[in-house]
Structure 1
Amino acid sequence: MDGRAQDDGRVYQASGDQHISEHHHYDGGPQAPAGPDSVRRPAVGRPPLVLRDRTEVLDRLRSALTAQSGDDIFVLYGMGGCGKTAVAHAFFQTATAEYGRVGLWVNATDRASLRSGMLAVAADRGAADGELLAARNGYRPAADLVWRYLASSPDPWLLVLDNADDPAILSDGSWLRTSPRGTVLVTTRRAAPRWWPGAELQHIGVLPREDAARVLRDLAPHTGTLAQAAEIADRLGRLPLALTLAGGFLSHQVIEPWTMDVYGRHLEEELPVQLLDRGADALSDADPRHLVGQTWQLTLDAFAARGLPEAVDLLRLIARLAPEPLPLSVLNDDGISAVLPRGRAESALRALLDHSLVERVDVGDNAGLRCVLGHGVLLDSVVAATPAAQAPVLDATAGRLLGAALPEVPDAGPYDPRLRLLAPHVRALLRRTGEPAVVAEVLEVATRLATAMHRTGDYPSAWETVGAAADIAARTLGDGHRAVLAARSRAGRVLFRLGRYTEAEESLRRTLTAQRQRFGADDPDSLDSAHGLQLVLRNLGHAEESLTLLYATAAGRQAALGPWHPLTLRSRSSILAALGAAELTAEDGRTGLLSLPGQCAEHLGVDHTVSVGARHNHAWALFQLGRLEEADSEIGEVTETYLQRFGPDYPIALAARQLQARTRTALGHTDEGIALMDDVVARRAQSLGQDHPFTVASRDLLRRLRAERP
């Protein structure tokens, strides 16, 4: 058999001279994205009022646009907080407004963000949904797809890869390339030339004294003279981030306004702040980064003195997460009350925004998702200065807020951009916390997040999230912890969906063995791994072992969860799809298996994913039993449901349409069946590639239908 089904799928081969495969999948099939995250608007919050002392760098960047040449890569490097992103933002605005370039902005902080952003770039440059789906699911190289569309772009472009502080991420998959159609600009803390072969490096350092003073005067013009501002700037090391925070503080003192002299006297106090700036290259002997901690600490002290300690608490909570856009909806939950009263969260956030301690950014097209963003250097310094006794409560609260943003039981549904936004925060929190109970709770959130990604078809992001989370948590909890094993189980199922069957089998066998030893064969976690393993075994050709394991899983789930639990019904539905005609007749006589769709509808509802999947498998069973009119009617209704829910390009919809082509042809509507199969073959070739087993099987079926046309 050439075909390979996935999850609850089953590959069937007809006897005689036919060789035809069907694919069925009901474990939350891939979803069409509602639209790619916006790459046309930089997610950088408020730009500076005036960009000081970056004329030489900007002139060099503009010269690349003036020359109308391509194949350029520029790397802006420097310590955190020195204004690399601000320079990139200014150049982005110039390139788009004055030179007519298409501006494309991608966050390159981690693999998931980079991959998501670059696929959005491909979509912007004309990639079709099917091609994007294939790249997202690992069926074709994602970087090749992106750069093919960049190279064929009708418009010249500027691509900004912001916060690329781990250059290895760009190397993996060859994301950083050149094209005669555009210019690439990278911002990073890593300056070593080995990371940027062929690129032109531009150092972004601290500001000259006069320009640094003018930054303070831009922000707080009435608090002191230019000379006084220069004194403050010297004490802050002339670091743009520190200057921005200081200026924001000075400009917002109303009841008891501070002058620059007063501010300077407070800066003379030594504060126990050790700033963390992971990944930065040493740029000078007199590194002024520790002064950022002093700057924000003065602001927080003022909050406490003025009766707004909640702002301090909120910043410490946000600092437990990643320096990435965080949906504001995450903070709008009762769970935040463990750190600060929910009713005070609004005023606390406004205070942080007003003083430039965090920024508001909108992510996505149109109105987008409203998010809050903190600078990495600032957040690291806040973490370093947070009392150790507060860390467990902050970590536990952050984990519960992230968990509350996810459904308790993720199901198939439309693409949700919030999922990818949450992923870096879950990983960052796992790295921050050291309390075993908190680690276990956050790991459960990470597994649930990966499951939600899995069931919207974002398999690479699901793998990156749960694989990294399990590795981090295992250092604290050990490999045999229940939460770690559950994460490994989900990782194995994601490997299966990525087409890495051998790895998936090894991972799931190892996980299932450990779970059975620790919790027993009928434990729900063991049964979940068993269900995943039987899918892999079936696709590897171990049909007998797969069916034995599936029967045991269905029986175990019925005993542990009850006969009408969705997982029990899902396993029984898989049995419905796994049997031949004679076996179906015998099984129906024993257990009434063919009545399963009605039982699902009665106990779960007719629109439940498991109910629709059971009807799909039931239609296949009817077709095998020769009940063609019934099979055709049922698969027609199922197909319409899938098309409305998932769109026309996704495997679950294509599998249903392929079965519909067979039923229509068997009933004598040959031309209609061939037309359906023509469309299925074209869509599978586009989304999976010409040589994918599903495409090959569909093409064989189409050829057979044409040969048998009267």
Structure 2
Amino acid sequence: MAAVVVVLTAALGAATNIGTGMLPAWRWAHSPAVIWSVVATSVLLLMLLAVIQQRMAGTDNPPGLGATVRHIFVPRRAGATRPAIASLRPPQVTDRDIRGRDRLVDQMTALYSWRGRHRPRVNILHGMGGAGKTTVAQLVAGRLTRAGVRVWWVSAATATQLDTGMRQLAAELGASAADIEHAWSDTGSGPDLVWGMLDQLPQRWLLVIDNADDTRLLTPPDEPVTAGRGWLRPVPHRRGLLLLTTRDGDPATWPAARYHDGGDRGDWYRLHPVGMLTPADSAAVLLDHAGAAAGTVEQATALAERLGGLPLALGIAGQTISQVRRTGVAGSPATFAGYRTALDTGDTPTSTPTPTPAAGALSEAQARRTIDRTWELSLDLLDRRGLPQARTLLRLLATFADAPIPTHLLDPATLAATALLPDLTGEHLATLLQALTGVGLVTLEQTQRSTPVTLARLHPLIRDTSRRPLHTTQRHTTYLAVSITLLLNSTTNLDADNPTTWPIWQTLAPHTTDLHSQATTHPDTSDETLIDVCGLTQKTARYLGEAGLHQSARDLFAELLPIYEQVQGVEHPEILATRHNLARWTGAAGDPAGARDLFAEVLPIYEQVLGAEHPDTLDTRNHHAYWLGKAGDPAGARDLLAELLPIYEQVQGVEHPEILATRHNLAHWIGVAGDPAGARDLFAEVLPIRERVLGAEHPDTVTTRYDLAYWIGAAGDPASARDLLAELLPIRERVLGAEHPETLNTRHNLARWIGAAGDPASARDLLAELLPIRERVQGVKHPDTLDTRNDHAYWTGKAGDPGRRPRPARRGAPHP
């Protein structure tokens, strides 16, 4: 029969190729009637053969019905809907005119114009710290937002910020929670998920990746960033644009050809150096800030050249001069000439004079020295205004990470009890923050949330400059201890398992991990501070795991464990909790066998230290059974849970939510181990208890109903499975929404069981209705969409219409 199909297919191909002039045109082939007769006859014969083949294979099972049920309760997993955990809105740019960057901003925004259609869609802004790369990106983002372009802003200052931002982007693009969980596991790919969804967007979009100074965060290990397999990839169409800011302009990082206008590019990316401002633009910046009363254009130009045209230094100098003139503080420079003299003579507590840098030739080291001087002159002004604690506060802020700092961390009562800022009041703290803002050393902004949060930002160069004196003194550990205490107090009642706290944790996590790194690498850190920072880090790692950053959670627990053991001892309850969490997130990151082994190692220690019936010991047994099953031993998981359940019920009570989750998992593994009827019966026992304890529409209850339907069908009663899912579907539509992925899964499986119950035509029709929704919501190449397409083809054939089977999905097809 296969040979017949080949012959008919060849005849059909020859006829169609003749009609398009792709084969030598024999005389008889010029007759349309002959051509179409061949086509029609071939198609009819192929359809007949397909029907015969389907009848011959009619004993096959419906697709998907033999698959294991998806729903399993991971012990102690949050069941609430996850809120947005990162803001992707671009930071607001100052209203003041930005000098000297118009041409670069115009180049970026013109990429959506006709003349920009052939330009690379990935653009890298590179330059030293303080040059204004982020400001250019903000201007581009603002202009394109006003033009109707969808804009997202992700910080790559730390791995945690990059991961969190990209997960949030995936969610905003419509990825389901399950897809995101898989993409951020060891077996998935976050970049593949995000870029696949970006490629499908029909509207124009801009993605800004800011502060990507460590380009290794953008790419898989041991791959160059320009390999295009990480977060930085070619944009294959004119609808999208990616803008990246980085200090790294090394040709080794960006192997490139040269544009005629001096810009660098590869095949799909272009480099744009962001250098120093010209003397004229630099002088204009100083005049914008300080006003004409501070001196002439020539004097402003001389000071600008003295500062090397570095935008950050120009802004600080101009704002400081403005503050001096506004407050009338004696002894501080109030003019451009006076400020230049102070720089030339080294008239600051820590600076010495150095030669004026050549225009446009400022090195990174010269930039740091320039910022050092302007920083000291600004703090000298605040000293003379009676605010000497501003210097201490700035250094304290500099111990935090290169990320926005929530000002609610700076609890006045906690700070007042320290030797750094004794007797500090809330009013005086506000005065100090405003003073630092006034001289350009700190930026304050409010988040766009329902409950606004004030954030303090330090430019990375100011942060590094402020940290440097601490490393040369014994006071570094004092500052670290105060910062850790502030974070500990702020997180005392912040439950990392509660999704409503995740937006707060998202702002705190970069700081906790950075302080952990500083404290554990400093030789003089006390054991008390180490214990505090380890406890703080453990809570942060739990948040990362609960929020879906499983690999980050696993790695942070692995880094934490040996340090915690060193200061607490290997059998301390906090050490056991750390080992438990390391095992848990090892499994969630895609290594179930590793999780199984880690739980098997820690379980006897739990039993020895806490006792066999301690709730934490029982919870560890529960997790061990779970990962045993996930590692491929469902019978072993079933047996362990069957042993655990009566002990668990005796300790916790038969209707405790953990007990119900354990019974649910036991039912699951009974079914997977080969007893669908046993799974069905146990799910039937659990369901009414969950309805009474949790409510009929609680997510866990609805999941138990869904799984009960599955095992009823798997046990041989597809009609009852169909009926249960038909009752469940309107509940999921009402609770989750008609287009939620779990609702779509329910519709899909309802169609499957309808078909298995003997109505393939209805199954076909339901899947035909579902398929375009899947394509729109999840994308044409999403696995669930392909599953629906394949099942539609299957039930179309079962309904007796093989000729109407849809064409298979094309993987990797180009998008318009």
Fold match (TM-score > 0.5): yes
Question: For 1:653-678, what per-residue CA distance to the aligned partner results, in whole angstroms no more than 9, with x for missing partners?
Answer: 56666776688789999877776677
* Cα pair 1:470 1:484 within 8 Å, conserved: no
2:294 to 204, 224, 236: 224
* Cα pair 1:170 1:176 within 8 Å, conserved: yes
Alignment of 1:406-425 (within 5 A): 406-407=494-495, 409-410=497-498, 420-425=506-511
* Cα pair 1:573 1:613 within 8 Å, conserved: no
* Cα pair 2:596 2:631 within 8 Å, conserved: no
Counterpart residue type for residue 284 of structure 1: S
Cα distance in 1 for residues equivalent to 2:342 and 2:230: 51
Classify the secondary structure of the residue corresponding to 2:294: coil
Cα distance in 2 for residues equivalent to 1:316 and 1:402: 22
1:23 to 47, 58, 70: 70
2:135 to 86, 92, 101: 86
Number of residue-to-residue matches in the alignment: 671
Question: For 1:426-482, what per-residue CA distance to the aligned partner results, in whole angstroms no more than 9, with x for missing partners?
Answer: 3223223343112222222213312431xxxxx3x3422x13422443463248576
Of the structure 1 ranges 291-300 and 329-338, higher mean CA displacement relative to structure 2 is found in: 329-338
Higher relative contact order (CA 8 A, sep 6+): 1
Counterpart residue type for residue 204 of structure 1: V
Structure with the greater alpha carbon radius of gyration:
2
In structure 2, the CA distance between the partners of 1:331 and 1:70, relative to structure 1 (3 Å rule), is farther
In structure 2, the CA distance between the partners of 1:421 and 1:184, relative to structure 1 (3 Å rule), is same
Corresponding residue of 1:477: 564
Corresponding residue of 1:323: 402
Asked if 1:452 corresponds to 2:531, the answer is: no
Cα distance in 1 for residues equivalent to 2:698 and 2:252: 53
2:480 to 380, 384, 391: 391
Asked if 1:380 corresponds to 2:464, the answer is: yes
Corresponding residue of 1:170: 218
Structure 2 gap segments, 5+ residues each:
1-60, 221-228, 257-264, 353-360, 419-423, 521-528, 801-816
2:519 to 433, 443, 451: 433
Classify the secondary structure of the residue corresponding to 1:82: coil
Asked if 1:192 corresponds to 2:271, the answer is: no
Cα distance in 1 for residues equivalent to 2:794 and 2:232: 42
**Displacement after TM superposition at 1:323 (Å):** 2.3
**Displacement after TM superposition at 1:392 (Å):** 0.5
Cα distance in 2 for residues equivalent to 1:474 and 1:197: 40
**Displacement after TM superposition at 1:352 (Å):** 4.1
* Cα pair 2:550 2:588 within 8 Å, conserved: no
Cα distance in 2 for residues equivalent to 1:127 and 1:630: 33
Alignment of 1:524-673 (within 5 A): 524-554=615-645, 557-558=648-649, 565-579=656-670, 596=686, 642-647=732-737, 653=743
Corresponding residue of 2:225: none
Cα distance in 1 for residues equivalent to 2:319 and 2:611: 59
* Cα pair 1:360 1:372 within 8 Å, conserved: yes
1:215 to 265, 285, 289: 285
Cα distance in 2 for residues equivalent to 1:701 and 1:505: 39
Corresponding residue of 1:9: none
Cα distance in 2 for residues equivalent to 1:225 and 1:585: 89
Classify the secondary structure of the residue corresponding to 1:548: helix
1:443 to 537, 541, 557: 537
**Displacement after TM superposition at 1:24 (Å):** 1.9
Corresponding residue of 1:51: 98
Question: For 1:7-48, what per-residue CA distance to the aligned partner results, in whole angstroms no more than 9, with x for missing partners?
Answer: xxxxxxx99x97354322345578877679675x532x4347
1:260 to 334, 357, 360: 334
Question: For 1:81-117, what per-residue CA distance to the aligned partner results, in whole angstroms no more than 9, with x for missing partners?
Answer: 222212333445566779x876554433344544555
* Cα pair 2:496 2:546 within 8 Å, conserved: no
TM-score where L is the length of structure 1 = 0.73
1:161 to 199, 205, 209: 209
Cα distance in 2 for residues equivalent to 1:207 and 1:445: 45
In structure 2, the CA distance between the partners of 1:231 and 1:550, relative to structure 1 (3 Å rule), is farther
* Cα pair 2:316 2:439 within 8 Å, conserved: yes
Cα distance in 1 for residues equivalent to 2:751 and 2:244: 50
Classify the secondary structure of the residue corresponding to 1:161: strand
Classify the secondary structure of the residue corresponding to 1:175: coil
Cα distance in 1 for residues equivalent to 2:623 and 2:436: 46
* Cα pair 1:134 1:687 within 8 Å, conserved: no
Classify the secondary structure of the residue corresponding to 1:187: strand
Cα distance in 2 for residues equivalent to 1:515 and 1:133: 33
Cα distance in 1 for residues equivalent to 2:497 and 2:364: 53
* Cα pair 1:29 1:652 within 8 Å, conserved: no
Structure 1 gap segments, 5+ residues each:
1-13, 274-281, 454-458
Classify the secondary structure of the residue corresponding to 1:241: helix
**Displacement after TM superposition at 1:187 (Å):** 1.6
TM-score where L is the length of structure 2 = 0.65
**Displacement after TM superposition at 1:289 (Å):** 0.8
* Cα pair 2:93 2:138 within 8 Å, conserved: no
Asked if 1:76 corresponds to 2:125, the answer is: yes
**Displacement after TM superposition at 1:67 (Å):** 4.3
* Cα pair 2:719 2:754 within 8 Å, conserved: no
Classify the secondary structure of the residue corresponding to 1:441: helix
* Cα pair 1:106 1:118 within 8 Å, conserved: yes
Corresponding residue of 1:278: none
Asked if 1:240 corresponds to 2:311, the answer is: yes
In structure 2, the CA distance between the partners of 1:438 and 1:445, relative to structure 1 (3 Å rule), is same
Counterpart residue type for residue 76 of structure 1: L
Counterpart residue type for residue 193 of structure 1: P
**Displacement after TM superposition at 1:165 (Å):** 0.6
In structure 2, the CA distance between the partners of 1:92 and 1:612, relative to structure 1 (3 Å rule), is closer
* Cα pair 2:580 2:620 within 8 Å, conserved: yes
* Cα pair 1:79 1:283 within 8 Å, conserved: no
